[in-house]
Chain A
Amino acid sequence: MSYFANIPEAPADSILKLSVQSKADPSSNKVDLGVGAYRDNNGKPWILPVVSKASSRLATDPGFNHEYLSVGGLPALTGGAQTLIFGQNSRAIDDKRVYTIQTISGTGANMVGAVFLKQFKRPENAAVYISKPTWGNHRSIFQTAGHEVREYRYCNYETLGLDIDGMVADLRAAPEGQIIVLHACAHNPTGIDPTAEQWQQIADAMEERGHFPFFDCAYQGFATGDVDRDAYAIRLFVARGFELLVAESFAKNMGLYGERTGCLHAVTRSADLIPAVSSQLNRLSRATISTAAAYGAKVAGTVLQDPELYKEWLDNMAEMSSRIKTMRDALRDKLVELGTPGTWDHVSNQIGMFSFTGLSKPQVAALKEKYHMYLTEDGRISVAGLNTGNIDYAAKAIDDVVRNVK
């Protein structure tokens, strides 16, 4: 009898399952609005031109090899990433109170931060609060790391905008000193971001209760097309004196996805805390992966450190974010044109890769069955899956299910 005989089958990851179904669908009309990866107007993955340039440089560099990175990661990446997140004139960087460790993309950064906090958080029973809703993997990451996970209100399901009052009330009602996971920009899955004013309110409530911010930043530059605007919330919190963690991913904004390129940043109150904090982050990363993946880091580092390539990157990002914005507006306009019941402003007001359409589960199922349109059960669409070739079809499909499926 096998030792493993009594291990049950685990449920498949729902988003990835969707992707498998979509790939297997032979229909020429199919529209994949599932996984959050950018697509060009032909529905194809897009290698950023600047990334191709950086890759060519690496390919022709006689010094290129596959040696181990240090535990902290590639300095060209970690240093460049720090400046990207915290700004050119960051007091925190100048004060030497930021430590950055390279990670296996955003997931790895979230997990390293989660494990670090489990070991060192005060109070020891502080829970981790995630937005309702949030990226599916957040709950899993923090629970796996051993935290109790709770939710704060975020999405107003009526207006499909931010429930700022609910959010602030929940932050105030929480016990003091909790860990709050915040999406820096382009909230996943809703696309709903706080305004600058609302970020101040959030910061006020967090300051009042002594909460600890853990920013998840997976879309810097990808949300508004402007890296500084997209980093506003993080920089606000730093300027207001918070200590915090930032999980950063280059998967979307540099299109590096499978290269698994990311960082975790820790901002402390003073430089003398950095040796201890960095040594502990290094220790726990060493026991998980030893060192992070070199290739993607070298590509990203090359782009971040070369002024011309950096500028070109900003242009590439603007191209992606503006195509997405165009599709948002187009979808909204077509739904209005069709007279689809309900209001659709939220589709163009929301920001980033995703839109929380407000479609119900039965409507989503009907879209899949009747129209070969794939989106997650919660009504989230990956806007990058829309293009000039399928936008009419998609709008009509949505119109149909909104009218005829409850």
Chain B
Amino acid sequence: MLSSALRTSLRRTATSQTSTPARALATWAQIEMGPPDAILGITEAFKRDGDARKMNLGVGAYRTDEGKPYVLGAVRKAEEALLAKRLDKEYLPITGLAKFTGAAAELAYGADSSALGRVAITQTISGTGALRVGGAFLQRFYKTQQTVYLPSPSWGNHAAVFRDCGLKVANYRYYDAATRGLNLGAMLDDLRALPRGSIVLLHACAHNPTGVDPTPAQWQQIQSVVEEREHLAFFDMAYQGFASGDADRDAAALRAFVAAGKAPVVLSQSFAKNMGLYGERVGTFSIVGADAAERDRLLSQIKILVRPLYSNPPINGARIASEVLNNAPLRTEWLGEVKQMADRIIGMRTALRSRLEELGSAHSWNHITDQIGMFCYTGLKPEQVDRLAKDFHIYLTRDGRVSVAGITTANVNYLAESIHSVTKN
């Protein structure tokens, strides 16, 4: 039985529907179609393809040799341990789970780093969220320069994130298409030429999308120039442990900058790939401060930035990561699994290159094994990429980037043959 108030309002609603509609703003009408996301669009196309041989070499998520998503053993054990604890779901503090961020800082900077007592660190929505908080922080407080310089090329989302923070985005030369390696000379020239105190984004390891990393000696040169020009080093580390299989090795460049202490360093850190926590959105953003007091001031400002963005970060993934990092046996198991993932990827690189050489390809494919991490910049042109999709049901981004994790012993030959088909002349 409807209350009279409810009946009245329903009557009014019925009347309104037949009268002139609400004078709506023309808010939606002039909104243009947004650009399709290049990377995620590949997965859509792949899903629509019905061919049994299809391969998804688009998104950077690790796959087993069976082509399946991989939940790490250490992660499973951590989840079981957490279930047994029957924890509540109360809000985390704004800067996240302290046991997690503390362990994450140690992992990144090194357990014996002098920086640990003065790092302002916050948990973030994975690496993207870290870049966003970092960009917002620099936009508000780094008044020297308001342009972020990205390597050319860089992860497709970098520019969007920093622009949405209100920063300008520009590039420094990085990838050499001729050698499919690093164009160190051009990179150093460009970094030297930037306005003093520029924000320089550096991929800590396993460069995305090229897989081209500087050698330790090359890193030293890069560091010299950054310090000489008093630039701010914004490290993006999304693949620690996943690149070489050794977490300390992969963090070497970051740690060298921090040890020298000459350039300001900020860090975006992701556990999406190295712990396989992708959708749980586990990451951190940190600033290396001068001392503990500065750290506290920086943290106070970071909290002000974060509160309106999302209040506080998600608990589930952080608890898993904390359990893994802080529990010695789990941590050891985890590092072993990361090495296994890295080794499988290196194995697939070797297999792909060998097969292409066996097929008698006239091109050089050394870069496949010279490059490192999740991705390989094959050197394939957009037209060739399109043919791979259309004729061979193999999907990768049009810049020629292959997610090596999508390659398995079952499909590496097919991939090699297909690449050979579209590249032989």
With beta carbons under 8 angstroms apart, the residue of B6, B32, B94, B277 that contacts A66 is B277
* Given the contacts A241-B22, A289-B132, A260 and B164 also touching, CB distance less than 8 Å: no
In the complex, A131→B11 CA distance in Å?
A: 28
A121 and B308 contacting across the interface, CB-CB below 8 Å: no
> Are B264 and A3 neighbours in the complex by a CB distance under 8 Å?
yes
Contacts of A260 in B (CB 8 A): 310, 312-315
Contact between B27 and A122, CB atoms less than 8 A apart: yes
> How far apart are the CA atoms of A164 and B422 in the complex, in Å?
71
Q: Number of A residues whose C-beta is below 8 Å from B? A: 88
Instruction: Out of A59, A104, A121, A240, name the residue touching B13 (CB < 8 Å).
Output: A240
Known: A5-B290, A67-B279. A269 touches B28 (CB 8 A): yes
Whole-angstrom distance between the Cβ of B293 and the nearest chain A Cβ: 9
The answer to whether B310 and A105 have CB atoms under 8 Å apart is: yes
- Give the residues in chain A near B23, CB-CB below 8 Å: 207-208, 210
Contacts of A268 in B (CB 8 A): 28
**CA–CA, A16 and B86, complex, Å:** 24
Taken residue by residue from 1 to 45, chain B's Cβ proximity to chain A (1 for < 8 Å, 0 otherwise) reads as 000011011001100110001111111111111111100100000
CA distance A160 to B13 in the complex (A): 29
Q: Does A89 contact B (CB under 8 A)?
A: no
Q: Could you tell me if B90 and A273 are in contact, using CB atoms closer than 8 angstroms?
A: no
Q: B residues within 8 A CB of A289?
A: 125-126, 128-129, 132, 281, 310
Are A9 and B300 also in contact (CB < 8 A) when A137-B307, A243-B24, A277-B31 are? yes
- Judged by a CB distance under 8 angstroms, whether A310 is at the interface is no
Q: Are A284 and B164 in contact (CB under 8 A)?
A: yes
Q: For the complex, is B93 an interface residue (Cβ under 8 Å from A)?
A: yes
Among A251-259, A314-322, A323-331, A349-357, the stretch in contact with B? A251-259
Is the CB–CB distance between B25 and A210 below 8 Å?
yes
Q: Which of B76-115 contact A (CB under 8 A)?
A: 79, 83, 86, 88-94
Taken residue by residue from 290 to 320, chain B's Cβ proximity to chain A (1 for < 8 Å, 0 otherwise) reads as 1000101110110110011111111111000
Indicate which residue in A9, A197, A242 contacts B297 across the interface (CB closer than 8 Å): A9
Pick the contact of A10: B5, B75, B301 (CB < 8 A): B301
A10 touches B37 (CB 8 A): no
Q: Are A2 and B125 in contact (CB under 8 A)?
A: no
A277 to B28, CA, bound (A): 7
Please state if A70 and B132 are interface contacts (CB–CB under 8 Å): no
The yes or no answer to A24 lying at the interface (CB within 8 A) is no
Chain A residue with Cβ nearest B32: A276
Known A-B contacts A2-B290, A70-B40, A257-B91; A177 and B25 likewise in contact (beta carbons under 8 Å): yes
- A7-B297, A7-B301, A295-B316 in contact; A287/B28 too (CB < 8 A)? no
Given A195-B5, A288-B132, A296 and B296 touching (CB < 8 A)? no
Interchain CB contact (< 8 A) of A295 among B34, B83, B280, B310: B280
B289 is an interface residue with CB less than 8 A from chain A: yes
B71 lies within 8 A of chain A by Cβ: yes
B90 and A243 form a contact (CB under 8 A): no
Other-chain residue from B279, B312, B317 in contact with A69 (beta carbon distance below 8 A): B279
- Shortest Cβ distance from B272 into A: residue: A68
Contact B89 A45 (CB under 8 A): yes
Check A125 for interface membership: any CB of B closer than 8 A. Answer: no
B278 touches A (CB below 8 Å): yes
Which of A10, A195, A212 is the one whose CB lies under 8 Å from B27? Answer: A212
B316 A276 Cβ-Cβ under 8 A: no
Question: How far in angstroms is the closest Cβ of chain A from B304?
Answer: 5
Q: How far is the CA of A260 from the CA of B35 in the complex (A)?
A: 28
Q: Which residues of B contact A107 (CB under 8 A)?
A: 307-311
Say whether B22 contacts A240, CB under 8 Å. yes
Chain A 257-298, CB-CB to B under 8 Å as 1, else 0, gives 111100000001100010111011011101111111111100
CB pair A282–B34 under 8 Å, yes or no, is yes
Known contacts: A9-B300, A65-B71. The answer to whether A282 contacts B90 by CB under 8 A is no
Q: Which residues in window 1-54 of A have CB below 8 A to B? A: 2-5, 7-13, 16, 35, 37, 45, 47, 51
* Interchain CB contact (< 8 A) of A286 among B5, B16, B160, B297: B160
Contacts of B36 in A (CB 8 A): 279
Which residues of the other chain, A, contact B79 by a CB distance below 8 angstroms?
59
In the complex, which residues of chain B have a beta carbon less than 8 angstroms from the beta carbon of A144?
308-309
| Residue of A55, A258, A293 with highest tally of chain B CB at under 10 A | A258
Contact A276 B6 (CB under 8 A): no
A199 to B13, alpha carbons, bound, how many Å? 12
Indicate if the CB atoms of B16 and A240 lie closer than 8 Å: yes
What are 25 A-to-B residue pairs whose CB atoms are below 8 Å?
A: A9-B297, A37-B90, A55-B83, A59-B79, A66-B278, A67-B69, A68-B59, A104-B313, A104-B314, A107-B308, A107-B311, A200-B12, A210-B23, A236-B9, A236-B13, A241-B21, A257-B90, A273-B28, A279-B33, A279-B34, A279-B36, A286-B40, A293-B125, A295-B280, A296-B316
New A-B pairs, 14, CB < 8 Å, besides A7-B297, A258-B315, A291-B279: A37-B90, A66-B280, A66-B317, A68-B272, A71-B40, A200-B9, A210-B22, A210-B23, A257-B90, A257-B91, A258-B90, A260-B313, A289-B281, A293-B316
A interface list, Cβ under 8 A from B: 2-5, 7-13, 16, 35, 37, 45, 47, 51, 55, 59, 64-71, 104-105, 107-108, 111, 115, 120-122, 137, 140-141, 143-145, 177, 195-197, 199-200, 206-208, 210, 212, 236, 239-243, 251, 255-260, 268-269, 273, 275-277, 279-280, 282-284, 286-296
